[in-house]
Amino acid sequence: MTRFRFAPLVAALPASVPFTGPETLERRAGRPFRARLGANENGFGPSPRAVAAMQRAAVEVWKYGDPDSHDLRHALAAHHGVAPENVMVGEGIDGLLGLLVRLTVAPGEAVVTSDGAYPTFNYHVAGFGGRLVKVPYRDDAEDPGALAGAARDQNARLVYLANPDNPMGSWHTAGRIEALLDDLPAASLLVLDEAYAEFAPEEAIPRIDPEDARVIRLRTFSKAYAMAGARVGYAIGPAELIASFDRIRNHFGMNRISQIGAVAALEDADWLAHVRAEVAASRDRLAGIAQSNGLTALPSATNFVALDTHCDGAFAGALLQTLARQGIFARMPGVAPMDRCIRVSCGPEPDMAAFAEALPRALKALS
């Protein structure tokens, strides 16, 4: 019993959050992790130019951020070859997902996603009264055909697909994404989460007119640009839809330092190329560690690798707990059969060495 009176929708929701942060886990354990490899952060760090720009901006933190994110929106528009009216900046992809659901989904309307896909999207759908419809993964990847079929059956308002995918690291070709758009019913909007697009092969990125009313694309500075703590995400979509975000968004939600840092990061193409190379080498390193311990690294177009334990979810969960006791923070997919895997973020060599040391010990402890 609570002495507070909540709105009926909120009162019916579980008292939960999508993720338990590594800081919470560290407080529970009473010690820090040796290697932080569970949140798909970019341990190779942000552009030095971005850091310098944010340091210079810090003395003006007394100012609110530009509520229009003018400079960043125009820089992103030029970067992607679209109009500024096609770009909306927000507090990470997570914040934009919440706004999008609130904008487009009435209570009880169907929203289609994959069972095991990004849980924060589901959190927003439930929080705004939508009705989640889930389809299974197929061959460790989201299934565009099943998503389209469910959208037609349910007359879904939104259809969520991440390409490349989290938590498996798999990806679809641009042609498959474009075919999905043709398969969706007229009432459905594809929510194309491209958080890991900078790590993906060129053939995975579709060429879509920003005014295509069937899709909105979401990108972030949290992954390749290594600015997860700055909370900078953006959407690319039809100008009419983008403008509608102004009706409900927090106009002062983007802080000044983050906006300035993101512009500088976007301008530093050399650093982005450096990070991509480091991530590719780290993926190979993780594959080697997995192979030497009897695990299999699944192909990945992201900055993490899903390692197949060739066991079940109970074993993978026990492996994560055993790794955590050795100071290694990693995560796993939450739905079978993908939960046979653990998901390990790419990182600098000291983190890889710590994981390489801890993994055989953890596996031996479970044998």
Indicate the domain borders of the chain: 20-45+270-366, 48-267
Burial class (CB in 10 A: 0-12, 13-18, 19+), 8: exposed
Residue 111 has, within 13 A of its CA and on its CB side, a CA count of 25
> What's the pLDDT at 208?
95
Which CATH class name applies to 20-45+270-366? alpha beta
Of 273, 329, 276, nearest to 302 by C-alpha is 276
Distance CA 133, CA 211 (A): 27
Report long-range pairs for 218-221 (Cβ below 8 Å, ≥24 apart): 218/93, 218/96, 218/97, 218/191, 218/192, 218/193, 218/194, 219/93, 219/194, 219/195, 220/92, 220/93, 220/195, 221/262, 221/265
Is residue 332 within 8 A of residue 343, CB to CB? The reply is: yes
In the block, tokens 């528009």 appear at 77
Cα dihedral 101→78→165→172 (10° resolution): 110
pLDDT of 225: 98
**CATH hierarchy code of domain 48-267:** 3.40.640.10
Q: What is the pTM of this model?
A: 0.96
pLDDT by residue for the chain (367 residues), tens digit each? 567 888 989 888 888 777 889 999 999 999 999 999 999 999 999 999 999 999 999 999 999 999 999 999 999 999 999 999 999 999 999 999 999 999 999 999 999 999 999 999 999 999 999 999 999 999 999 999 999 999 999 999 999 999 999 999 999 999 999 999 999 999 999 999 999 999 999 999 999 999 999 999 999 999 999 999 999 999 999 999 999 999 999 999 999 999 999 999 999 999 999 999 999 999 999 999 999 999 999 999 999 999 999 999 999 999 999 999 999 999 999 999 999 999 999 999 999 999 999 999 999 999 9
